[in-house]
Amino acid sequence: MTFRQARYDEPPIWELSRPAELTTGAVPEIPGIPQRFRRARAVEWPELSELEVVRHYTRLSQMNFGIDTNAYPLGSCTMKYNPKVSEQLARRDGAAALHPYQPVETVQGALEILWRLENALGKITGLPEISLQPAAGAHGEYAALLMIRAYFRDRGELEKRTEVLLPDTAHGTNPASAQMAGFTTREIPSVNGCVDLAALRAALSEKTAAFMLTNPNTAGLFESEITELAEAVHGAGAMLYYDGANLNAILGVTNPGRMGFDVAHLNLHKTFATPHGGGGPGAGVLAATETLGPYLPVPRVVKRGRSYRLDYERPHSIGKIKTGYGNFGLDLRAYVFLLAHGEEGLRHISRRSVLNANYLAKKLGKFLPRPFRELVKHEFLLSGAPLKAKGVRTLDLAKRLLDEGYHAPTIYFPSLVDEALMIEFPETESRRELDGFAAAFERAVTDTPENLHAAPTATSVRRVDEVLAARELRLSRKDLAPLSKSS
Amino acid sequence: MPRWIPDDPATESALLAEAGLAESDQLFSDIPRKVRLGRMGVGPAHDELDLVRTVDKILSRNRPYTGFATFLGGRIAPRFVPAAVDAILLRSEFYTSYTPYQPEASQGMLQALFEFQSLWVELSGMDVANASLYDGATAAGEAMLLARRIHEGKRFLVPASLPWEEKSVLANYAMGTGVRIDEIRFDPKTGRLDLEHLKAEVARGDVFGVLADVPNGFGHVDEGLLDMKSLIGAVPYVVVADPLALSVLSPPGDWGADVVVGEGQGFGASPSFGGPLLGLFACRRDHLRFSPGRIVGATKDAEGRPAFTLTLQTREQHIRRSRATSNICTNQSLLALAFVVYASTVGPRGLADLERSLSERARTLANALSGIDGLRAPRFDAPYLHEFTLEVTRGTATGFLDRLRRRKVLGGHPLADPRTPAASPGNELVLTAATEFVGDKEIAKYAKAARTALAHVPGAA
């Protein structure tokens, strides 16, 4: 594929109006508002026609990769097709024009969507108690750890249970969330890409509040000793936490409940195809056993007869973790995705995403070494270490892949693999796309060091100087003046 | 089901064979039998027409606020969104893109986020802004954590009038750090913060931050906020501010705020039953390295052309792990895009005119309700913009709102915490807001419905 991204010299939006138009006149007076509380001068922002605004942002959009234009083999991010029908349905008045404080009698349909989605997610996760309140995966992690905190507080064990254990392959959000929730963290080493069970057993104690695990893990491997891991954690009186980032690989095959997890978060923006939006919004899910269920955020959606209501009378609940009931617009999209697939479709998702990974791993394994065992789940790792001999880093390879029209894989993660590349092609990518990527990868990995260092050349800008960005912080229009003058 | 998974079974078999596997069950041979599932019981697949019908049927059980005379507000605003905004949000290069980890391929979103940061810097009067947080309440929580990093102490002060949801979210952000949140009283006549109480609390010397909001939890504008920094001195000052209000009000940066957060949904996004929302966050430059979230910076590319990239990532979870300033990974980029596209479409004059016009309607509404027996409207004397609080003095707030609803009026929302439903007399407060969807006709309808609703209630105790 020949790939060329649009390359406009599109200035920042404030440069589209003449300076005189930026600051305009007096701010309207509002009766009762004291003079000294009034804005002295109008907000400095351009006055533009609608076409000027639309053209500006349309041009910017053309300088951006999206799933609809380019495939994203981003490991652990599950960048699958975002169905158009979901965008249409989420924009219906019956979904968008609902205020969260409307009386429940007027939002029965919205509560029904939430209830049905919760119900299905309970079956999918094997954990019966569900809340859709988290705005994102990390938000769910944080809330779940607060629930665990509240649970041990109620049992009088919080004083001693101060530590959260996690494998060295854990997502960065895991230790960050644990720290925010007031726990110290400790890493458990991996052996051949999986948790070292003996090391975990040795680390577990009456100080352990929880062990956080992703399964399959970020090396793309299923933790086959999961039952033994769960028994060890529970034997120490601790909770087993499931990071659901990689749920796509196991839909309908196994689930966190069956594996012995006590609480889980899911990312609807991964497994259930809600759009990533350039970084967000996401939508998180909390799923818990009956033991931890009472600690879930309020309100809970309950059904009586044919009607639904919001239940706030949950004395053990941790309370609210955000305004409203979660990212409803995305919950609706996830429900659409679920309805479309049904039981068999969900199984097809895990089967196909694992198939894609194994097929591609076999092909790409010819070019770069694969750490750990052969059989992977929905994603796999390569090590770019051999390229170092010719002065090429994984970063260069990633940039070179952009020129082929593919987003770069996740790179330098997990850190236990030198020069790691983590590759995931979800179920919505075709054989043609997999083969296209394999061919592109071969061209990239065999290219000259000069070309690899010079990449990318087909994107709207060339290699971006991130060091300069961090050294001379220019973070808004206020800081930009020196740059604009020199340009 | 729709054709969202590509290729036919024969192609999948070929893939399997080339992967060196004889049958598809071998893909899962590493998953022990004892943890395998039978059926999940989630029901059959639907084709597209089928699922549209199914979902539309469920959604038809909703009664969108567009079918009522709507006076709902608070931090979440039902507001008209020009079609141009949604046209941009539907550019799939934006909405189907990932976090811009590869800046060369993501200049469009990065530049839009840089423009968004610039706009919030301008509105808030602060030095730097991040690229968004989940919502206004979680942004307040992150602001509290920032305050704790930059100032010694163990107590954080918030107005007693703060919306209960925000108090609850803050309590959860406090839970892990072991800090305490204490409330500052409000003057029962004006609804304004009791600055004497604030002064006394700060004087105890163990306060690491103070939060105040504009409009406050009652929807009113408290002039005392302008003087607070001089009362609290070096203690970090967190301001929760409504972006539309800031189009006519002096920016908090001018009155000493250290962090300015807010809910940004009203700029370009539908309320969507409470999510997705948009957390706004800005702070002083000194505090940048302690601040949460993604930040976009301007730089150059290898040819010296202007370019943008995520920066200061060494604060973030994927690098710093347990020592990160926050666990934020996914944020609300698309809503940040909506924010800046909306503001640019409406323009600064348009924003200020909108706030003026909504304020006028709110005053018209207050006048229309003020003479009604069984209501005190507004309940407080402080000035207000597009919203204010009324008190139901005969019967309960929920009963009053329920009777309005039957007359096709959504009259506002009760301020009481639904977790403690024991609605004591004197706590029957309702926040009511003017929106673009209400004119004189709807205001008259509200007044008429309120009269009827209260006429049937036995006299107040």
Quick: pLDDT tens for A288-347. 999 999 999 999 999 999 999 999 999 999 999 999 999 999 999 999 999 999 999 999
Instruction: State whether B15 and A477 contact (CB < 8 Å).
Output: no
Domains of chain A, first to last: 85-340 (3.40.640.10)
Using the predicted structure, report yes or no on whether residue B424 has a pLDDT greater than 70.
no
Segment A472-481, tens digit of pLDDT: 999 999 998 6
Q: Which of A468, A467, A481, A397 is nearest to A437 (CA)?
A: A397
pLDDT bucket at A445, cuts 50 / 70 / 90: very high
Instruction: State whether B298 and A429 contact (CB < 8 Å).
Output: no
Q: 3-class SS at B384? A: strand
ipTM over 0.95 threshold:
yes
For residue A147, the cross-strand partners are: none
Smallest Cα distance from B119 to chain A, Å: 8
Torsion, CA A258, CA A261, CA A263, CA A265, rounded to 10: -80
Pick the CATH number of B85-341 from 3.40.50.720, 2.40.10.120, 3.40.50.1970, 3.40.640.10: 3.40.640.10
Instruction: State whether B171 and A346 contact (CB < 8 Å).
Output: no
Taking the C-alpha atoms of residue B237 and residue B7, their distance in angstroms, rounded to an integer, is 58
Instruction: State whether A27 and B352 contact (CB < 8 Å).
Output: yes
| Tokens of residue B33, six digits | 């039998």
Instruction: State whether B98 and A321 contact (CB < 8 Å).
Output: no
Flag whether residue A103 sits within 8 Å of chain B, measured between CB atoms.
yes
Taking the C-alpha atoms of residue A124 and residue A126, their distance in angstroms, rounded to an integer, is 6
Which residue from B minimizes the CA distance to A137?
B330
Which residue from A minimizes the CA distance to B102?
A408
Q: Which of A338, A470, A478 sits opposite B121 (nearest CB)?
A: A478
Q: What is the mean pLDDT of residues B375-380?
A: 96
Stretch 32-71 of chain A: residues touching chain B, C-beta under 8 Å = 32-34, 36-40, 42-48, 50, 53-54, 56-70
Taking the C-alpha atoms of residue B393 and residue B414, their distance in angstroms, rounded to an integer, is 13
Which residue from B minimizes the CA distance to A58?
B88
Give chain B positions within 8 Å (CB) of A363. 18
| Tokens of residue B438, six digits | 């209400």
Segment A15-53, tens digit of pLDDT: 998 655 555 567 889 999 999 999 998 899 999 999 999
Using the predicted structure, report yes or no on whether residue B86 has a pLDDT greater than 90.
yes
- pLDDT at res. A2: 83
Contact A411, A255 (CB under 8 A): no
Smallest Cα distance from B459 to chain A, Å: 25
Written as one string, the DSSP assignment of A252-297 is: TT--HHHHT-SEEEEETTTTT----TTT----EEEEE-TTTGGGSP
Smallest Cα distance from A421 to chain B, Å: 14
Q: Which of B34, B52, B108 sits opposite A89 (nearest CB)?
A: B52
Give chain A positions within 8 Å (CB) of B91. 57-58, 61
**CATH code given to domain B67-77+347-455:** 3.90.1150.10
Give me the total of CB pairs closer than 8 Å, taking one residue from chain A and one from chain B.
Answer: 698
Smallest Cα distance from B76 to chain A, Å: 8
Q: What is the mean pLDDT of residues B277-302?
A: 96
Q: Is the pTM of this model over 0.90?
A: yes
- pLDDT at res. B316: 81
- pLDDT at res. A484: 42
Instruction: State whether B43 and A106 contact (CB < 8 Å).
Output: no
Which residues of chain B does CATH 3.40.640.10 include? 85-341
Taking the C-alpha atoms of residue A482 and residue A475, their distance in angstroms, rounded to an integer, is 13
Which one of A60, A188, A476 makes the best mutation probe of the B interface by having the most chain B beta carbons within 10 Å?
A: A476
Give chain B positions within 8 Å (CB) of A53. 84, 341, 344-345
Segment A190-239, tens digit of pLDDT: 999 999 999 999 999 999 999 999 999 999 999 999 999 999 999 999 99
Flag whether residue A13 sits within 8 Å of chain B, measured between CB atoms.
yes
For residue B433, the cross-strand partners are: B387
Smallest Cα distance from A2 to chain B, Å: 15
Which residues of chain B does CATH 3.90.1150.10 include? 67-77+347-455
Smallest Cα distance from B69 to chain A, Å: 12
Cβ contacts of residue B114 below 8 Å, gap of 6+? A12, A475, A476, B296, B297, B298, B308
Which residue from A minimizes the CA distance to B128?
A475
Taking the C-alpha atoms of residue B74 and residue B54, their distance in angstroms, rounded to an integer, is 33
